[in-house]
Structure 1
């Protein structure tokens, strides 16, 4: 009702076990808590919180302008309402390795199942834009070691993202992947891979689970679940898909209202009030205390 019944520790252990199950886990990106509830309702394996989505939601570009407080706050809001594990984009850790360590503990407190850190310079930029740069290997490894050393719950998943392929090539990305695994990373996130062959190369190079980012309009071919699973990928995220769908629908709706003077022709494209109430569990709130909640759905 007010929150998901599953405690954070249970979601973390479940996520860690699923990572090693051999099946592909699908994590759409939520742009708010309500969309996270819908992701769960539709039977997905987890919820992803994208830094690009949070930035856009705040009216900002994805260039490292958000703060750890904003990310932790939204992560808590989302993880609170769903029994699914939540994986959070923690950018570069919001500073030096000590900041990365603090970020781990803030996100543990927020109830999420895991987070990923990247090896871009700080402030970072979207991984599918040109002109990004990465820190040296030693600094990148220090971030991962600091994060691993800071976690209090051993089931909390720490993923290492590398943007090195676009900057220095695939060989460097593979070297970093191996070093991140040696530093204790639980999951590898190779950003801006071109195709299935890139994932297959990484699968041969490292033993830890691999994540694929299937973001639209970027540098990666949009691969289906069967292809990703065959390439040895363990997790796929769709980070901005729901936000893009929602914003396109909103733009279309506003244009229609402006042109037609009414929203009547849009009704069939809307989520009905009864479906929204069902998703929000209105009836459960009503049953909780009839003396307080006296409305009827």
Structure 2
């Protein structure tokens, strides 16, 4: 979303309200009252009315975006805002941000959106703190957080709860694995709608049969072309008719040969997805050919020891991929570190002391105590009122 700058003040960001009905600003004396839920088509711009609610009326003179307007005596100021990389009837700043990132990476041979897939609030916050640009709640790590394999156990409601948990913890865009959409094309549509309302910036929908399973494990199968296309059409309709969300369409049809996989990927593109992902591409040649033939932002997936050649993110960028996900990495780290720690702890029961993995201070900082204590000061009070009265 663009920013606004009144001539008497600083620059302030505009954003979508929590109800996703109105445009708002962080500037407390100014409020937009323009509804954005009424258009039936994707808005390319929003006309908004801004009111000065100060005790002394000031004129407004907006310098960003480039369409200066002014008004005095506290009357409303109209401003038309151009929306970038928006789909859907209700704009989503995070979806637009994610789409912009992917398009920039798609058009740059040296840029790629590499991301470690997470599974809960803490792991997602650590991903953000490590400097990764997005969070991806992939099926494998999320299933592992329930102590389950990625074989279709996780329901839509489980994933929606995870999305809500994570978006409260991070400021970067959150993508979520929608698996097969959990049923018929109508279920796919509902899944995309629910993920968007939960706060996801992006969703991945695939063409496996149900129950689906990790694409690098045995026993997977795909639905017919017709059913796959119906799923993706439902996802696109959900995005276009409701709140914007970045759509990634995945096909596992490489098990039936190259032509089948690419035919599906190209049709997903025609239907209107933002990006495609052909699962389990074996080597560089196949990867480069896939990117060239599909022609829109394309995702890669690196599973250590899996079916795809383990290339660096930079190598994948040079092959033309816009993004690469690492769905097993944090799961493997979790399994290894917990097992090793438990063995050391068990050993310490008969010899030595419990292992010191991190200091007490580091653990408190890692789970957010320091931020909590800093914020808690604001609400200190005595019998008479607040101690730290806001100025």
TM-score normalised over the length of structure 2? 0.69
What secondary structure does 1:69 align onto?
Answer: helix
Out of 43-52 and 145-154, give the one that drifted further. 145-154
**Aligned equivalents of 1:199, 1:137: Cα separation in 2:** 22
Matched, 1:17 2:100: yes
Q: Which has the larger radius of gyration?
A: 2
**Aligned equivalents of 1:153, 1:16: Cα separation in 2:** 17
Kept in 2: contact 1:160–1:187 (CA 8 A): yes
More strand by share: 2
Q: Which residue of 2 aligns with 1:3?
A: none
Summarize deviations over 1:254-275 as a string: whole Å, max 9, x none: 0111112288463145782343
Kept in 2: contact 1:148–1:158 (CA 8 A): yes
Bigger relative contact order, structure 1 or 2 (CA pairs below 8 A, ≥6 apart): 1
**Aligned equivalents of 1:169, 1:88: Cα separation in 2:** 27
Matched, 1:109 2:197: yes
**Aligned equivalents of 1:276, 1:20: Cα separation in 2:** 33
Unaligned runs of at least 5 residues, structure 2? 1-14, 19-91, 106-110
* Alpha-carbon offset, residue 97 of structure 1: 0.3
Give the count of matched residue pairs: 289
Following TM superposition, where does structure 1 have runs of at least 4 consecutive aligned residues deviating by more than 3 angstroms? 152-155, 262-265, 268-271, 277-280
Q: Which residue of 1 aligns with 2:377?
A: 287
Of 73, 76, 82, the match for 2:161 = 73
Summarize deviations over 1:214-247 as a string: whole Å, max 9, x none: 1223211221111000010001111121122022
Kept in 2: contact 1:46–1:84 (CA 8 A): yes
Unaligned runs of at least 5 residues, structure 1? 1-5
What secondary structure does 1:109 align onto?
Answer: helix
**Aligned equivalents of 2:195, 2:177: Cα separation in 1:** 10
Q: Which residue of 1 aligns with 2:56?
A: none
Q: Which residue of 1 aligns with 2:173?
A: 85
TM-score normalised over the length of structure 1? 0.90
CA RMSD between the two structures = 2.4
Structure 1 residues 218-297: aligned runs within 5 Å: 218-261=306-349, 264=353, 266-268=355-357, 272-276=362-366, 281-291=371-381
- Cα 1:194–1:288 change in 2 (3 A) is farther
Q: Which residue of 1 aligns with 2:253?
A: 164
Out of 271-280 and 113-122, give the one that drifted further. 271-280
